A = this chain, B = another copy of it.
Amino acid sequence: MATSRASFSLRRLLLGPPLPTVAMPHQTVGKFVGLAVFSSDALSSVAYATEEILVVLSVAGAAYFGLSIPIALAICGLLAILTASYRQTIFAYPSGGGAYIVARDNLGELAAQTAGAALMIDYILTVSVSVASGVAQIVSAFPRLAPIRVELALAMIAGMALVNLRGVRESGAVFAIPTYFFIVTMLGTIAFGLYRLLTGHLGTVTDVPPVPATTGQALTLFLILRAFSSGSTALTGVEAISNGIQAFREPKSRNAAATMVWMSVLLATLFLGITVLAHHIRAIPAEDETVISQIARTVWGRGPLYLTTLTATTVILIMAANTSFADFPRLAALHAADGFLPRQFTIRGSRLVFSWGIVVLASVASLLVVIFRASVTHLIPLYAIGVYLSFTLSQAGMVVRWLKIGRLRPDEVVETKGSVLRYDPHWRWKLAINAVGAASTFVVMIVFAVTKFTSGAWIVTVLVPLLVWIFFRIHHHYEDVRRTLSLKDKPVRTEPAPVIHMVLVSDVNTASLEQIRFVRSLGVPWFGVHVAVDEAKAEVVRSRWERYVPDGTLIVLPSPFRDLVGPIREYVEALRARHPEAFIHVVMGQIVAEHFLEQALHQNATVIFALALRHIPGVAVTNVVFPLHAPQQAPAPHPAAAVASADE
């Protein structure tokens, strides 16, 4: 009791008091706040995307860094396609059009589970990559912290997990302030940088270890595509709004679509601005200083505005990681509710959050941070395949949806799970937009997988099918259980059966006499059983039994191998074989100590017995609890207890 109360208090201190179910929030936001809430993931990617392009190009040499600008332009083109494509999803699925839902609705279960698996991997990586990049910004400003990179990242993840287990009130301000702070700071940096560039006052970055102009390695198409892949991580998170349409004020779809366009424009501006500035100041990707830090240092000088820029970047990265803490548990709960993940993911904890999802996300993200030593460059090859796979599936789903619509009569209306199908005269044109979106993201995914295969992408190409297989295995099990438990079209057995009562005793003492008193109180025939692990002890038990339980039979089972459970299991199985219709009722006693450390001093054989007997049908195992320290005061009667005693 003491322990559970102590652990309860600690939990309450960390997580706060429990919240009743009726406290579930229902809150909507406008476009201004909505942009802040849903864009941190997408916008924060600019903190590392340019840098990762340069990392790849540096393999050939600094002379090729100028290529980053056409690459960034190509990525912005892709962004335009994606935005057009996703705007259509927002209108088609006003109640929320995540890849899982769209794929399920149009492409079937396999595509949906694949999209889900890809998204989950992506959410986990969002946490790892964003936190790693956040730490890299901090280390750029405070190089002394470099040796504790990994520890800093782990502390951040743990802190986020705790905050989310407490439950974040997604009040707009919490998101609006840091997101707009980042947007304003970064636009300011870009604007002032361009002003200095145009007036000829922008210098180049100093104090950075140089990269040779040419390394002798040829600039192959493969390398350019690889750089493009790295940069394409800038688009991770653009789908966020399509998941969260329900959070917008009416007209939801229109507000969400407008916000999506604004977000894309902002993202393109920031990404291009940073890439252009990085090129002009001759930024060099380095282990200990991020490109953002190099830009801010060159534009503002080492002063308060430099630190402000890095702070804003770090904060937006943390916000981005935090969105995964909302999205991953929600997606996992969706899968679990459909029976493709353990049911426990659907349980809302005492603070109304999906605790399991939060804990799993934080654990796996932490593991990745440890394995990849909190390095963005090492994590990047795993990232984005999942995103582009889900993009592809979601848009391919939309293509199928337009095909269905094309086949409708003008007045026909069909309702699917998350969408309403109505004939649309422009369906061919809209199909084309989604088809272009699907095709281009598919190509990017393949490019990504091929160019990054050996540096980590292979992990994801193995993991996605493996996860999908596991999801279906889980589903299969739940379906099995559902059929077994279902009462439909089954004869219901209600007739009483004979019950064989046996009392398992390890000794004759106050605890075992309490077991016997319980079975006596049932008013049924019974007998005692003792396993003779130790022959000498068995003799003592037998003689004590004769003295204290003269009216009961005691059966002593031999155990030549000192095995406690084997003889009992065999005995119960033998009884079952002789009396297949009967229940076998095994009464055990459990000594309960006040403290779990004390409990560990006891053999706790009841747990072992229960495990050993649980595979035998028709067995009922009773634990007669024997608390060594009984509670000192009786609690106040429960209101419902009166009802019960009236019914007895």
Contacts and interface: CB of A to CB of B under 8 A. Distances in A.
Interface of A: 1, 18-22, 342-344, 347-348, 350, 474, 477-478, 480-481, 484-487, 490, 492-500, 502, 507-511, 513-514, 516-518, 520-525, 527, 535, 544, 548, 553, 555, 557, 560-563, 570-571, 573-580, 583, 585, 587, 590-594, 598, 600-603, 610, 613-628, 630-631, 634-638, 640-645, 647-648
A627 B637 contact: no
B517 A343 contact: no
B474 A601 contact: yes
Given A487-B509, A499-B522, A628-B481, A634 B601 contact: no
Nearest to A618: B625
Contacts of A626: 617
Contacts of A498: 521
Which A-B residue pairs are the 9 nearest by beta carbons?
Answer: A574-B638, A574-B641, A485-B509, A496-B521, A622-B622, A577-B634, A18-B561, A573-B635, A574-B637
A492 B513 contact: yes
B598 A636 contact: no
A574 B635 contact: yes
A350 B562 contact: yes
Given A637-B574, A647-B553, A620 B614 contact: no
A555 B624 CA distance: 24
Given A343-B603, A518-B620, 20 more contacts: A21-B561, A481-B602, A484-B628, A485-B511, A490-B510, A492-B548, A499-B518, A521-B583, A522-B522, A525-B648, A557-B640, A570-B638, A573-B635, A573-B638, A574-B640, A575-B638, A577-B636, A587-B620, A594-B615, A616-B627
A603 B478 CA distance: 12
Nearest to A493: B517
A645 B575 contact: yes
A587 to B, nearest CB: 8
A625 B617 CA distance: 6
A513 B494 contact: yes
- Scoring A498, A591, A613, A625 by chain B CB atoms within 10 A of each residue's CB, the highest score goes to A625
Contacts of A509: 485-487
A480 B620 CA distance: 32
Contacts of A350: 561-563
Contacts of A574: 635-638, 640-641
Contacts of A618: 625
A614 B592 contact: yes
A485 B510 contact: yes
A602 B343 contact: yes
Contact of A20 (B21, B527, B561, B620): B561
Nearest to A351: B561
Contacts of A477: 593, 598, 601
7 contacts: A480-B628, A486-B509, A487-B548, A494-B520, A574-B635, A610-B623, A621-B625
Contacts of A578: 637, 641-642, 645
Contacts of A573: 634-635, 638
Given A484-B628, A592-B614, A478 B577 contact: no
Most buried by B among A524, A544, A615, A628: A615
Nearest to A478: B601
Contacts of A21: 535, 560-562
Contacts of A638: 570-571, 573-575
Contact of A644 (B493, B555, B642): B555
A613 B626 CA distance: 11
Contacts of A474: 601
A3 to B, nearest CB: 10
A635 B577 contact: yes
Given A348-B562, A617-B630, A623-B621, A513 B497 contact: no
A335 to B, nearest CB: 13
Contacts of A630: 617
Contacts of A553: 647
Nearest to A558: B640
A625 B614 contact: yes
Nearest to A645: B578
A469 to B, nearest CB: 13
Contacts of A598: 477
Nearest to A630: B617
A517 B573 CA distance: 20
Contacts of A502: 644
A221 B627 CA distance: 60
- Choose among A478, A578, A621, A648 the residue with the greatest number of B CB atoms under 10 Å from its CB: A648
